């Protein structure tokens, strides 16, 4: 299963109502941009409490971080627990060039 989306696919999925989960820490976000209207729950908290934050396993999520490492770990953990509509933005925020 493909676990990432390109920037083009990212914007297409946003148009379809997918949510963006930014897994960077609050300290990082003090100095870096985030994607508008994204949900910020840092890794690993979002993994440890995924059922609390996202009780619907059919939730459509795209995870992102700076370059894609933490968001990749997040997406894999979510899929392991039955969340099948979770993808990683390939290249993270660096790919968006905001």
How many residues make up the chain in this entry?
98
CATH number for the domain harbouring residue 58: 3.40.250.10
The model's pTM: 0.93
pLDDT in tens, 9-43: 999 999 999 999 999 999 998 888 888 899 999 99
Task: Report whether 66 contacts 32 (CB < 8 A).
Answer: yes
Domain that holds residue 29: 4-96
CA pair distance 65, 21, nearest whole angstrom? 9
How many domains in the chain?
1
User: Residue 92: enclosing H or E segment and its boundaries?
Assistant: helix 92-96
Confidence of residue 68 (pLDDT cuts 50, 70, 90): confident
Q: Are 19 and 39 in contact (CB under 8 A)?
A: yes
CB 19 within 8 A of CB 59: yes
């Amino acid at each position: 299963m493909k676990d990432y989306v390109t920037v083009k696919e990212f914007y297409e999925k946003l148009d379809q109502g997918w949510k963006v989960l930014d897994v960077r820490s609050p300290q990082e976000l003090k100095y870096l941009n985030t994607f508008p209207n994204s949900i910020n729950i840092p890794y690993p908290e979002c993994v440890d409490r995924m059922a609390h934050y996202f009780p619907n396993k059919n939730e459509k999520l795209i995870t992102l971080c700076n370059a894609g490492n933490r968001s990749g770990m997040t997406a894999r953990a979510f899929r392991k627990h039955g969340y099948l509509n979770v993808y990683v933005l390939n290249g993270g925020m660096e790919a968006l060039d905001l």
